[in-house]
Amino acid sequence: MIHVVMPHGRSGPSTRVRVFEWLDRIGAPAVVSGYLSHRNSSPSYVARHPVAVLAAERRLRAMAARRPQRLLLHREASPLSRGELERRLLSSAELGVYDFDDALHWDWGAGGLLRRLALKGPKVFLAVRHADRVIAGSPVLAEWASQHNEDVRLIPSCVSPAAYREKTDYRLGVPPRLGWIGSAHNERYIELIAPALREVHRRTGARLTLISTPQPRLGELESFIDRVPWSEEAQHTYLAQFDLGIAPLADDPHTRGKCGYKLLQCAAAGVPVVGSPVGVNRDILSRLGMPAPEDDEWVDSILELLQRSAEARAALGRHARAVVQREFSYDAWLPRWKQAVGIADSQNPD
């Protein structure tokens, strides 16, 4: 038995990728606590559900009092905690494992007064320091965690290539189809390459599909944007329609801790992708054989891929999918994840 604590339910992107996809594969019993079991735990959402919040806080403290044999804490236990609840949960277990996939240690409440009341930075520091073991989603996160914990395991945010429709037709669409997938909050990174996208559109007529929110958010770029509302089905089936994926990022402490998930999703579908060489992205792009343009190179990188033959793009897509299956899939990492959370070959009940 393993007890799992996380801030969101299955609809939360991070909890789905870092927790539920693993639990679906281990075939072992688990007690799962997803705070409000919603896709987010923003201050406004928490404020609107006081009864559910009170129940969640009581449930977490009762779990700590039971002293579980194995406990996996992903990101945070409670958005209201300042770290003491996370410390208590991890310290109470015989094996307390902390998992994180974002540079939460650099989160000091940017975005408003309510977020500053329960800072994530100090909370993550306490969790890493008091965990028996830490699972980090990227080398940057693992390096930081290793300064505060002697047992840090690097396990990337994985994908399942079999779940994605594989691209089979690499002839360019008319017009060519660029694509991006992600949350509405992260659409701001698309604006970083807005001049390059406008220039590619001017030269080729290319349109940009966003698997994200259906609500327009990007000003003048919306004139050549098509929006597909995000869903699990959409992310698994629609990527194969892209001629080329894009994954721009700013270069700052927060983005350097990201896990390159957009790149891996495109590659899982066999779609060529261009991404910013920030943090782990640089290594992933190199392994996939994809371009990693600096700020002034986006136009040339996109056009170069679009101008390749269909056969050349097909070879690139097939190579990328094979790399993901071999190096970034759940199947490839499952034995190491099971060992990291203390359930490998264990027959002892909790």
* Model confidence at 115: pLDDT above 60: no
Could you name the CATH architecture of 161-327?
A: 3-Layer(aba) Sandwich (3.40)
Topology agreement, domain 2-158+330-340 and domain 161-327: yes
Residue that has been written with the tokens 């044999």 in this structure:
69
CATH number of 2-158+330-340: 3.40.50
* Model confidence at 98: pLDDT above 60: yes
Q: Identify whether the C-beta of residue 87 lies closer than 8 Å to the C-beta of residue 93.
A: no
Indicate yes or no: pTM above 0.85. yes
First to last CA, the chain: 5
Place 104 in a pLDDT band, splitting at 50, 70 and 90.
confident
Mean pLDDT of 311-332: 98
* Model confidence at 347: pLDDT above 50: no
Q: What is the rounded distance in angstroms from the CA atom of residue 143 to the CA atom of residue 150?
A: 11
The predicted-structure confidence for 329-339, as pLDDT tens digits, reads as follows: 999 999 999 99
Domain residue limits, the chain? 2-158+330-340, 161-327
Nearest C-alpha neighbor of 285 from the set 275, 298, 297, 270:
275
Mean pLDDT of 316-336: 98
* Model confidence at 142: pLDDT above 60: yes
Q: Identify whether the C-beta of residue 269 lies closer than 8 Å to the C-beta of residue 203.
A: no
Q: Identify whether the C-beta of residue 290 lies closer than 8 Å to the C-beta of residue 320.
A: yes
* Model confidence at 38: pLDDT above 80: no
CA angle 296, 298, 304 (to 5 degrees): 125
182's tokens: 């992600």
Nearest C-alpha neighbor of 99 from the set 67, 77, 68, 122:
77
27's tokens: 């075939």
Q: Where are the beta strands (DSSP E) in 230-317?
A: 244-247, 273-275
The predicted-structure confidence for 278-295, as pLDDT tens digits, reads as follows: 999 999 999 999 999 998
Place 111 in a pLDDT band, splitting at 50, 70 and 90.
low
* Model confidence at 168: pLDDT above 70: yes
3-state secondary structure 133-180: EEEECCHHHHHHHCCCCCCEEECCCCECHHHCCCCCCCCCCCCCEEEE
Contacts of 203 by beta carbon, 8 Å cutoff, 6+ apart: 303
**Strand order in 225-229's β-sheet?**
225-229, 207-212, 177-181, 244-247, 273-275
- In the chain, the percentage of residues whose pLDDT exceeds 70 is 94
Radius of gyration of the chain (CA): 21
